Amino acid sequence: MMRTSPAGFALASLVGAFAAALLVLAWSLLTTLTTTGAASAPLGWALASGAALGGVLAALRRGKDTPAPAAWTAGAAVGLAWAAASGGAPLDLAHPFWGAPAAVVTWILIGQTTRYGLREIDLVRVDPHDRERVLLRGLRGVGFGFFVTIVVLPFWFMVASSLKPRAELLRDPTNLAIDVSRGLTELLVGYREVLITFDFARFILNSTFVAVVTVAITLALAVLGAYAVTRLRFPGRAWLSRSILLIYMFPAIVLVIPLYAIFSQLGLRDTLPGLLVVYPATTLPVALYMLRSYFQTLPKDLEEAGMIDGSTRLGVIWRITLPLSLPALASVGLYVFMIAWNEFLFAFMFLDSPEIFTLSRGMVALDSQEVPRQYLMAGAVVVTVPIMILFFWFEKYLVGGLTSGGVKG
Amino acid sequence: MRGTLAAREARLAYLMLTPTFAIVFAIVLFPVLANFWIAFKPVELGDLRPPEPIVRERLRSEATAVGGDVVVRYQMRSSSLDVAIRDVVLFDALPAGLTLTTDDPRCEQDGRDLACVLGTWEGGHRENLDLTFEAGPAYADAGFPDPLATRPQMRGRAPNVLTDATFTLDNFRRVIGAPDFWPALRVTLWYTVFGTIGSILLGLFAAQLLHADFLGKGVLRGVFLFPYVAPVIAAAFAWAFLLDPLSGNVNAVLKEYGLVEQAVNFLSRRTATVDLFGLELAVPMALTVVILFEAWRYFPFAFLFILARFQAIPQDMYEAADVDGASPLQRFWYVTLPQLVGILSTLFLLRFIWTFNKFDDIFLLTGGAAGTKTLTVQVYDQAFALADLGAGAAVAVVLFVILATFMILYFRFAPEGE
């Protein structure tokens, strides 16, 4: 059997050191964020031990892979060594869970990661392609860590702060763990205050009402419009098809001043009907565009058969086109719902009376009062959770809709 | 052609498109035109309520028998201290059986209706009008009802700055001449260019990560969309608190790891000096954070489009590249990237335009403070914080003109059809 070359050992050590640095940092950060006090991050030791582990894995290779049990055992051994060398407190953690056991688990993971990083790589004769593949694997590892952190951290922070009184936040600002021992009523006090005292329960209803009606109006008008643009011939059709999306490029802030002036004079400002005109108008162009794209994929034959059977156009749309377009309607509807639910600018400019506040507007009102951060974050969770649930439920539709329409943000 | 099949089809099409046209015209196109109109007028926020006559009535004397006198006092004033109101008229409806006995040539009674023609009021006009009515039998029969039961109405004509023919270039002169106009334009371009590039680069990287099959890919794809789906107000508050110097998590962690000595006020510090290999660089701090927020919030948008495009790249192109002995990076550079040029340029223009238009994010994060005031925030500040609608509209016009230039570019470069 061919032996691993010095260059192979060097590469394996590099991979091991890199994996160790990445995972020890992640472990340290995770501990800092979930326990009282902070963990240290002994990067130097991590690099050195990781390089050694990489070398061991290179020595234990069978063909182009290290057997998993060997990699895990080697990792666990390093973990135990760490725990022993630090007197059972790696990363300065004497914690019964985050200390020694976590060291072993982390190092097993480092072993596995290193093994994965070196799989299929020829360590006997290392060529530039393999080095590049290893580099890209490293980049992927960093990428996953990076993206998961930046996406999850703000939302985790939001939820955690909504369950903590200010004193606790100030005492230990790195700690994002939720202190379950305080009991459910204690924990949820922010939510109770926001929903009842600050009337967010009513704002949820308002937001739901506004979003649902916006979806209904937008879909009704967009179906008619999209059908006309795809199926009927009329002068100006091509021009219209192209300029639909143009409307979507108009900045909302340019519309705000005149709409504010006009709505003030018409008495539409500070009313829900006012919002219910603005939201469909701003979502219609893209809804129409998305539905148009979908209608173009539907076969004409069925509709023509329906026409021959004596149905009217509207009858055909109702009985043939719409049932076939349910997935598209779902994705357009969901997207319009999201826009209406999240909308901030017009709600902020138009609504003054607390009875008709939407959630976004309610958040601004909450912010202007001297309310604790805990309540504000509870409010933020209340605004976010419904749209997240809806979105996760129908993710498939939404993703299709977003990409086919080019949703603005 | 009337009555032919083609004409009927066209008529039906227009009919079906009418509601869309109507609402888009009323809420999008007309306001844009109106914005241009307002930009040339000296309109302030207060002018939205035109001057009007206001009246309150009080009962000075009640009748208890037929022939008794009912005295009503109308307390009237103009809502404006400086603008005259012309053709002021007072209307009221009285219970049946009351007859006006006050001899005032301005007032006339017609059945139960009372009308007083009061002429022109100068600004700040106030007047008390006492009118005496004699109670007749019909009034007594009705049981002496309350004469104040119907509210009096007033009408008058006042000039409306919004609709009259005064035009001015002052708004533009003031807005463009203001010392913060050019900085705002520069900040806008900075924010737009780097926010756009940042979100697309992050999206490209994220799409690369998920363009492979592995366990949990679907969940991860959903999680990556969080920043984009979450309401901007929740995301902005979460960031603001996360970056807070006092109790924010980021500062606490940075201090814990010894990366900073003192808490950094990320959102309210204008510049920070960064020591790069002994070179002192002044970096706009709050602006950078706002740009990072923009990139963070909209990378999922780019990510989705790029991922969809990845999946459409034919596999045999990669096989051919492998046969030619291309390295992974070469595969990306010579095979993947050329396939992405179309979607990347479309994304760039779309995101460029939308970031240029962006208001909510910066407004909620910094309110335009610490060197983050873009043109959109400027529109809001002028129109609503300073109550000068005309000036705000003028900034909006400038914004719109710059944008129109981009739109023309977009339509030049956008691929036909899809």
pLDDT, average across residues B217-230? 89
Q: What is the mean pLDDT of residues A217-242?
A: 89
Q: Which of A185-189, B321-325, B357-361 has the highest mean pLDDT?
A: B357-361
What's the confidence (pLDDT) of residue A10? Answer: 92
pLDDT-based confidence at A404, cuts 50/70/90?
low
CB < 8 Å to B162, chain A: 261, 265
B142 band by pLDDT with thresholds 50, 70 and 90: confident
Residue A52 has pLDDT above 60, yes or no: yes
Q: What does the radius of gyration of chain B's CA atoms come to, in whole angstroms? A: 34
* Order of all β-strands in the sheet with B85-93: B107-110, B113-121, B85-93, B153-157
A124: helix, strand or coil: coil
Q: How many CB atoms lie within 10 A of CB A172?
A: 17
Helix (H, G, I), strand (E, B) or coil at B53: strand
Question: Mind listing the pLDDT tens digit for each residue in A343-352?
Answer: 999 999 999 9
Mean pLDDT of chain B: 87
* Cβ-based neighbours of A147, under 8 Å, separated by 6 or more: B205, B206, B209, B224
Distances in whole angstroms, Cα of residue A16 to Cα of each of A20, A24, A40, A73, A124: 6, 12, 20, 15, 17
Tell me the C-alpha distance between A91 and A98, whole Å: 9
Q: Which amino acid is residue A358, in one-letter code?
A: T
Ranges A225-234, A291-300, A375-384: which has the least confidence: A291-300
Instruction: With beta carbons less than 8 A apart as the criterion, state whether A186 and A320 touch.
Output: no
Contact B23 A128 (CB under 8 A): no
Angle, helix A128-162 to helix B181-210, in steps of 10 degrees: 120
Chain B nearest-CA distance from A366, in A, is: 12
Provide the pLDDT confidence category of residue A405 given band limits of 50, 70 and 90. low
Cα separation, B390 vs B175, in Å, equals 10
Gyration radius from chain A CA atoms: 29
Q: Looking at residue B417, what is its pLDDT?
A: 43
A242 CB-side CA count, 13 A? 13
Produce one character per residue of B244-268: b if its CB has 16 or more CB atoms within 10 Å, e if not.
bbebbbbbbbbbbbeeeeebbbbbe
Cite the DSSP H helix spans in B124-276: 137-141, 170-177, 181-210, 217-224, 226-229, 232-242, 249-256
**Phi, psi for A231 (deg, rounded to 5):** -105, -25
B416: nearest CA in chain A?
A: A242
Interface of A with B in 101-120 (CB under 8 A): none
Compute CA A19 distance to the chain's CA centroid, rounded to the nearest angstrom. Answer: 26
Q: Does B359 touch chain A (CB under 8 A)?
A: yes
pLDDT in the model for residue B256: 83
- B83–A contact, CB cutoff 8 A: no
More confident position, B399 or B43: B399
pLDDT tens digits for range A89-147: 888 887 878 888 999 999 999 999 999 999 888 888 888 888 888 999 999 999 999 99
What pTM was computed for the model? 0.87
- Mean predicted confidence (pLDDT) in B386-413: 86
Distance from C-alpha of B148 to C-alpha of A368, rounded to nearest angstrom: 42
The minimum CA-CA distance between A383 and chain B, rounded to whole Å, is 7
**What's the pLDDT at B227?**
94
Average pLDDT over residues A181-189: 85
Chain B residue numbers with beta carbons less than 8 Å from the beta carbon of A346 are none
B226 shares contact with chain A (CB less than 8 Å):
yes
CB contact under 8 A, B20 and A284: yes
The residue of chain B with its CA nearest to that of A399 is B304
d(CA B5, CA B16): 17
Alpha-carbon distance B263 to nearest alpha carbon in chain A (angstroms):
12
Residues B181-220 as b/e (b if ≥16 CB within 10 A, e otherwise) read beebbebbebbbebbbbbbbebbbbbbbbbeeeeeeeeeb
- Predicted confidence band at A395 (pLDDT cuts at 50, 70, 90)? confident
Mean pLDDT of the region B310-314: 85
Q: Model confidence at B418, in pLDDT bands (50, 70, 90)?
A: very low
> What contacts A20, CB < 8 A, 6 or more positions away?
A46, A47, A49, A50, A51, A53, A110, A114
Q: Is B343 helix (H, G, I), strand (E, B) or coil?
A: helix
Put simply, the answer to whether B17 touches A153 (Cβ < 8 Å) is no
Cβ within 8 Å, pair B208-A143: yes
For B75-93, what is the mean pLDDT?
88
pLDDT band for B1, please (50, 70, 90 cuts). Answer: very low
Residue B140 CB burial class (10 angstroms; 0-12, 13-18, ≥19): middle
ipTM: 0.91
CA distance A356 to chain B (A): 18
Q: Shortest CB distance from B38 goes to which of A155, A261, A284?
A: A261
In Å, how far is A79's CA from the nearest CA of chain B? 22
Report the pLDDT averaged over residues B103-111.
Answer: 88
Find the mean pLDDT for residues A157-165. 91
> Between β-strands B53-61 and B69-78, what pairing exists: parallel, antiparallel or unpaired?
antiparallel
At A242, list the tokens: 């192209």
Cβ within 8 Å of residue A198, ≥6 positions away: A362, A365, A366, A371, A375, A379
Question: What does the alpha-carbon distance between residue A382 and residue A387 come to, in Å, rounded to a whole number?
Answer: 10
- Name residues 186-225 of chain B within 8 A of A (Cβ): 205-206, 208-209, 218, 220-225
Return residues 47-76 of A near B (CB < 8 Å).
none
Looking at the complex, does the CB of residue B386 fall below 8 Å from at least one CB of chain A? no
Phi, psi dihedrals of residue B147, rounded to the nearest 5°: -70, -15
- Specify the 3-state DSSP secondary structure of B105: coil
A64 — pLDDT class (breaks 50, 70, 90): confident
For residue B113, what is the DSSP state? E
* Partners of residue B360 in chain A, C-beta under 8 Å: 344-345
E-assigned strand segments in B260-389:
271-276, 279-284
In this structure, are residues B160 and B36 in contact, taking their beta carbons and an 8 Å threshold? no
Interface touch B238/A345, C-beta < 8 Å: no
Q: Contact A251/B389, CB-based, under 8 Å? A: no
Q: Quick one: which H or E segment has residue B73?
A: strand B69-78
pLDDT digits (tens, 9 = 90+) for A314-366: 888 888 888 888 888 988 898 899 999 999 999 999 999 999 999 999 999 99
